[in-house]
Structure 1
Amino acid sequence: RHTKRRKLLKTNSIRKHLKRPKLLKTNSIGRHIKRHKLLKTNSIRRHIKRHKLLKTNLIRRHLKRHKLLKERLLTGCKTYSSSVLSDLFCISSGISEHLEDMADIAALISIGAFYLIILVVGLIASRKNNKTASSKTEETMVAGRNIGITVGVFTCTATWVGGGFINGTAESVFEPGQGLVWTQAPVAYSASLLLGGLLFARRMRERRYVTMLDPLQKAFGDRMCALLFLPCLLGELFWSAAILAALGGTVSILVDFSMDWSIVLSAGIAVVYTLFGGLYSVAYTDVAQLIFIFLGLWTVVPFALTHPSVSPLASTAFIWPSSPNSTAQATAKTSTTAATTSGWIGQLQPSDRWRYADSALMLILGGIPWQVYFQRVLSQRTAAGAVAISAASGLAVLLMSLPPVLIGAAAASASNSSQWLIEDCVDSRFILPLALRHLCPRPVAIVGLGAVSAAVMSSADSTVLSSASMFCRNVFKPLVWPKASEGQLVWVLRASILAAGAASAGLAISIRTIYGLWFLCSDLVYVVVLPQLTASLYLPWTNAGGSLAGYLVSLTLRLSAGESLLGLPALVRWPNYQLTGESDTNDFVQQFPVRTVSMLAGFAALMLVSLLSNTTSYGGDRGEDGVNDNQRTGVSKETLTTYL
């Protein structure tokens, strides 16, 4: 057993010993092989995965870089092309701006040369005045009554054909609510000059008056004359301011120049040569200015009529070039009393006939009692010459109205494709400079601007001298300084010219409703001054009391009717009173002829009160002119205060 057990243990031990190394070896080899395979497999997998990842990342980086390069290339191309285009645009804009600046400079040089010519002509004419008699106020006011018929026709025509006349005529023809039918000023002013020559010029010249207020002062006295001076002064000042404002608007549209400075420059030059030469300078500069007006306007007309956007005038005479909703009609201030499809000829509605007649009478008869007109009449050598220049000037004014009528018709005939009607035409008052700018080449537009400048200066110098003459002779000397010498009055006249020029320029710069104020003052000249002047010349038995009564009656009736242009409400609603606005009571039309009725009522009151006062007043010796001595002394200060 022992031996067997020992053998068995030895055998088992040997077996276990043999089995264990084999097992360990086998396990070790298996683990080694398995680990090697696993490591090899993992290494291969990691290598493959890394290779794939590297390949993927490389492809991605390559694609990303390719896209980035492509985007950068496209962006660079776009940036380069845009920079090139912007550079080209800047170059072209710079060239166009440079050309525009050059054109503006050329325009300013042309206008400056024109102003210099006018100033030189005025100063040369002033030497003639100084050689004649520089110490007498009458020499400055009426040029020593030494103006010939030819120069008289030129200066009278140039005075009426002002900036307001040219711009207003073109505006009225262009507006769809008015048209040529309602453009009354050319025919009315022509008739006014003819009637003034027939009824007033000869009588005024034969009596050797110096100003329009002389017969009023002689018939109604100094104080009443001073009261009548007020509407005359306001009419002159606001007329001058209106035409200066028209020049400023024209210059600001056509040339890059300040509107205010153009007004100041024009008024200053007109004041300078008027200050030294008086009517001599005004008359001889009017000759040059009328030539500029005639040549300039007739140069513009062919280009305006032949522009591609302008339809033939015959086809648009009674109908607009497009539908009633066209741009020109939508942007213009359409009247409520006329159809918008009537073309540039316009039409007269039956309900407007009384207002039309009232306006026509106001322009015809109200155009007579103006100092600018009588200053030309009284400067003639003979009474026959005074009548002759009135008749010839009436025909010349009618001829000079043709160019602005044609320009306004051309602007009204422009088609809807005209972009300037959409962008610029918000106010038809500026239709003339807009037509010059868009329908004519730039050099031709500059010529037209010169014509407008000449028209403005031809009227501005006349109104300044007229208002200063009336103040110096009819107000300052009799009421303020009766013992003033001729030399002292000359200095007062020059100071008045400076004050009138400064006031006109200041009003043109500061007040935007200048046309409405000028219209009202023209209205008052017709309503108040016309019956007074007629009575002083044709009714020698009228007196200061009747003059004051007529003054107050005319003024009260006219102001009580209101004025929509100035926002004055109508205190009295005459027959056919119409509201043109939906909610605004100040937007109305008096179809009744209020102006003419007010004028006739004032005239009747003047005659009636004069007759009644003559029957109760003490008698006086009549002079050569048929006026009583008690009438010539005028109304007393206490009576005037009581009436007021």
Structure 2
Amino acid sequence: MAEFTDFGIVVAIFLAGSVIAGSLMWKLVQKSGRRLIVAGRSLPLFLVGTMLAAQSIDGNSSLGNMALVWEFGFYAGAVLPIGLGVCLLLVGIFYAKRLNFMQMFTLPDFYFRRFGNGAEGISSVLMIISFVILVAGNLAAAGLICELVFGVSYIWGLLIVATVVLIYTFCGGLFSCAATDLFQVHIAIVAFWAAFIFFAGGYADTPWAEISDSFPDGTMDLTALYVIENGALLNWAALFALGLGDVIALDFMERVFAAKNPKVARRGALWGGGLTLFTVIPTSMLGMIAMFYLPSLEDPGMAMPLLAMEHMPFAIGAAMLIGVLGAGMSTANGGLLGISAVISRNLIQRIIRRRWLKRDAWSDNKLLWITRICVIPMFGVGVLLAWVAPNPGFYLILAFDVVFAGAWAPLTLGLFWKKSNMPAAVVALLVGSGIRLIFWIDMETTGYLAVEYAGLDSMIPPIIAFFLFIAVALATQKNYPGKERHDVRDYAPPVEDVIAGEDLRGFKPGPQTSTPA
């Protein structure tokens, strides 16, 4: 009981510090929606890299990783941080500079500028669904930790952490995320490695040889990557869904947009990807170690917190708990802010207000308050989902399956192929996501798609959407021609997005109003 009390004190201090640090960022927002959502596009390299790492090293890829390793073997969990790390590297190499240059607030802004209101609306809905799931997964992970350290029921643990994140997200937006990420993510990384070294370096009561010899046969076997019966399709599906699908990530792109220039955006993504891959070995191996120390777990999701609290030195265990708790809170903060910005800016302001009602755009200050108001109900939905089905590892893959299926092809081809057009984007969004939904319904009900081929249901829809996008674009060029000159400078911000005194950095003049739906 004494240990639980000590852990509870440390976590309580951490939560209080997070509330204070995040809430103080209220002053930096300066009554500006742009500053709330993308920190005024002013963040330096160190903050961008740290914040991107904090979004990927979250409750799903740490606590969920260990749970999947404990239950299904090494690669079932390791694919989570590997996929996220690879995604950030790809963002840095191919996407970050172009997207940062375009000076956007949200990712659906790209679909609006490139393809019009129709693609903007569809992509917005898909991303909202995806990120509600992601927020729920991270709240669930944080709630499980609070349940243990405070000795309360899961719902109270969930409400405690949700309240903390809600307060500082409402107050400081992305600035609050920057203030809390500075210490959260680095605590997590150091704690993961310290815990792994504690066991593997022979500092635990049980020699490492005895621990490693106890690992079940096949749990670290490479057949998990090429034998279907050993879960190869599922593992590759997770890698594709995260490595490519997470490119369509509101929280990642918030940070890319918030970088002070394209070069910083690119380097920050590479930095974040490197830090994420640096956690693959310790987090996944701790899942294996939990098999030895906790062989009879009823809930694999408890593997990480119980291992930290019962089998590690207090300092390491406490650091790991608050590191994972902080990482989960950071991702919940980023996801929640992204969802709220998409609802206020893309759905309410641009589609409902400007296109349907034909009214003027909001001021920067009004965008701030509408976004803050949207935060509250969206948090309620995330808490409800986390309470009904607390499954962090599963959430992460499911969340990006949704957007990977339909939204990846329009973003990628829209950036790099001049013949991309609106009909192709709308068809890819609807058909790709629709096929993914059909596959999910089939596997949950009729079982026509054999269970042993699970994983193909994730990989097939985005491939279909990609080639369908190309076919539709080519077939509709006469009525919807692509760009004669395709360059990010051709996609200037609409006039209502330009804030007084803002530097447009070389955008070419031209029409700056809504494009056809």
TM over 0.5: yes
* Separation in structure 1 between the aligned mates of residue 433 and residue 334 of structure 2, nearest angstrom: 27
Q: For residue 501 of structure 1, give the secondary structure of its aligned residue in structure 2.
A: helix
Aligned-pair distance for 1:345? 5.3
**Given that residues 358 and 596 in structure 1 are in contact (C-alpha distance below 8 angstroms), is that contact kept between their aligned partners in structure 2?**
yes
Residues 148-547 of structure 1 mapped to structure 2, 5 A cutoff: 148-175=44-71, 177-180=72-75, 183-305=78-200, 306=202, 310=206, 312=208, 320=214, 341-344=217-220, 347-348=223-224, 349-351=226-228, 353-414=232-293, 421-422=295-296, 425-441=297-313, 444-482=316-354, 483=360, 484-512=362-390, 516=394, 518-547=396-425
What is the CA–CA distance in structure 2 between the aligned matches of 1:233 and 1:449, rounded to whole Å? Answer: 29
Shift in CA distance, 353/447, structure 1 to aligned 2, threshold 3 Å: closer
Give the equivalent residue in structure 1 for 2:6. 106
Using the TM superposition, give the Cα deviation of residue 404 of structure 1 relative to its aligned residue in structure 2, in angstroms: 1.7
Output one character per residue of 1:569-596: Cα deviation in whole Å (capped at 9) or x when no partner. Answer: 445x3xxx4xxxxxxxxxx132573433
Q: Is the 8 A contact 2:64 2:393 kept in 1?
A: no
Letter in 2 for 1:553: V
1:71 matched to which residue of 2? none
Aligned length: 488
Deviation at 1:632, TM superposition (A): 6.4
**Cα–Cα, structure 1 residues 203 and 248, in superposed 2: closer, same or farther, change >3 Å?**
same
* Distance in structure 2 (CA, Å) of the matches to 1:229 and 1:568: 28
Q: Distance in 2 between matches of 1:316 and 1:304?
A: 9
Q: CA deviation at 1:382?
A: 1.2
Q: CA deviation at 1:493?
A: 0.6
Is the aligned partner of 1:125 residue 2:25? yes
Aligned to 1:601: 464
Q: Deviations over 1:178-204 (max 9, x none)?
A: 224762122222111111111110111
In structure 2, give the amino acid aligned to 1:149.
L
Residue identity over aligned pairs, in percent, reads: 19
Q: CA, structure 1 residues 622+472, in 2 after alignment: closer, same or farther (shift >3 Å)?
A: farther
Match of 1:76 in 2: none
* Shift of residue 395, structure 1, vs aligned partner: 0.8
* Distance change >3 Å, CA 279–CA 618, structure 1 → 2: closer
For residue 326 of structure 2, what is the amino acid of its counterpart? A
Aligned to 1:42: none
How far apart, in 2, do the equivalents of 1:377 and 1:497 lie?
A: 21
CA, structure 1 residues 303+155, in 2 after alignment: closer, same or farther (shift >3 Å)? Answer: same
Matches of 1:514 and 1:401, distance apart in 2? 17
CA–CA distance in structure 2, aligned partners of residues 626 and 234 of structure 1 = 27
Question: Residues 118 and 426 of structure 2 are in contact (CA less than 8 Å); yes or no, is this contact kept in structure 1?
Answer: no
Contact preservation (8 Å) 1:320, 1:342: no
SS in 1 for 2:295: helix
Identify if the C-alpha distance between structure 1 residues 255 and 344 changes in structure 2 by more than 3 Å, giving closer, same or farther: farther
Aligned AA (2:253):
F
Q: Following the alignment from structure 2 to structure 1, what is the Cα–Cα distance between the partners of residues 398 and 219? A: 29
Contact 2:70 2:303 in 1 (8 A): yes
- Matched residue, 1:551: 429
Which secondary structure state, in structure 2, belongs to the residue aligned with residue 209 of structure 1? coil
Partner secondary structure for residue 481 of structure 1 = helix
Contact 2:162 2:383 in 1 (8 A): yes
Amino acid across the alignment from 2:84? Y
* Contact 1:562/1:569, CA 8 A, preserved across alignment: no
Are the counterparts in 2 of residues 181 and 347 from structure 1 also a CA contact under 8 Å?
Answer: no
Distance 1:160 1:540 in 2: 32
Kindly indicate whether the alpha-carbon contact (under 8 Å) linking 2:141 and 2:392 is maintained by their aligned counterparts in 1: no
Distance 1:563 1:164, change over 3 A: farther
Q: Aligned equivalents of 2:483 and 2:267: distance in 1?
A: 38
Distance in 1, matches of 2:482 and 2:234, equals 44
Match of 2:16 in 1: 116
TM-score by length of 1: 0.69
Q: What residue number does 2:444 align with?
A: 567
Contact 1:188 1:363 in 2 (8 A): yes
SS state of the match for residue 407, structure 1?
Answer: helix
Q: Which has the higher contact order (CA 8 A, sep 6+)?
A: 2
Following TM superposition, by how much is the alpha carbon of 1:610 offset from its aligned partner in structure 2, in angstroms?
A: 2.6
- Does the 8 A contact of 1:219 with 1:540 survive in 2? no
After superposition, where does 1:563-642 map in structure 2 within 5 Å? 567-571=444-448, 573=449, 577=450, 588-590=451-453, 593-616=456-479, 625=490, 633-635=515-517
1:145 aligns with 2:41: yes
Shift of 1:271: 1.7
Q: Per-residue deviation at 1:554?
A: 1.1
For 1:634 and 1:369, the matched residues in 2 are separated by 23
The alignment partner of 2:452 has SS state of: strand
Where 1:589 maps in the other structure, the secondary structure is helix
C-alpha offsets along residues 155-212 of structure 1, whole Å, 9 cap, x if unaligned? 111111111111122223323x422476212222211111111111011111212211
SS at match of 2:208: coil
The alpha carbon displacement at 1:491 in A equals 1.1
Check whether the contact 1:310–1:413 (CA below 8 A) recurs between aligned residues: no
Determine if contact 2:91/2:247 at 8 Å carries over to the other structure. Answer: yes
* SS class of match (1:231): helix
Code of the residue aligned with 2:348 in structure 1: it is F
Distance in 1, Cα, partners of 2:481 & 2:324: 56
Equivalent-residue separation in structure 1 for 2:418 and 2:165 (angstroms): 39
- Residues 304, 439 of structure 1: 8 Å contact kept: no
Query: Does structure 2 retain, via aligned residues, the 8 Å contact 1:254–1:445?
Result: no
Matched-pair contact (CA < 8 Å) for 1:219–1:632: no
Q: Is the 8 A contact 2:62 2:283 kept in 1?
A: yes
What is the aligned partner in structure 1 of residue 499 from structure 2? none
Alignment of 1:9-28 (within 5 A): none
Are the counterparts in 1 of residues 120 and 346 from structure 2 also a CA contact under 8 Å? yes
How much has 1:544 moved relative to structure 2?
A: 2.5
Distance 1:354 1:461 in 2: 32
1:10 matched residue in structure 2 = none
- Give distance in 2, aligned partners of 1:125 and 1:525: 31
Q: What amino acid is the match of 1:602? A: A
Query: Measured at CA, do residues 427 and 225 of structure 1 come closer, stay the same or move farther in structure 2, by a change above 3 Å?
Result: same
CA contact 2:25–2:176 (8 Å) conserved in 1: yes
CA shift digits 1:400-434 (9 cap, x unpaired): 333322321222244xxxxx533xx0232221122
Displacement of 1:274 in angstroms is 1.7
Do 1:307 and 1:439's aligned partners in 2 also have CA atoms closer than 8 Å?
no
| Aligned-partner Cα distance in 2 for 1:518–1:157 | 16
Quick one: distance in 2 between partners of 1:619 and 1:311? 64
- CA separation in 1, counterparts of 2:418 and 2:168? 39
Residues 65 and 77, structure 2, Cα contact 8 Å, conserved in 1: no
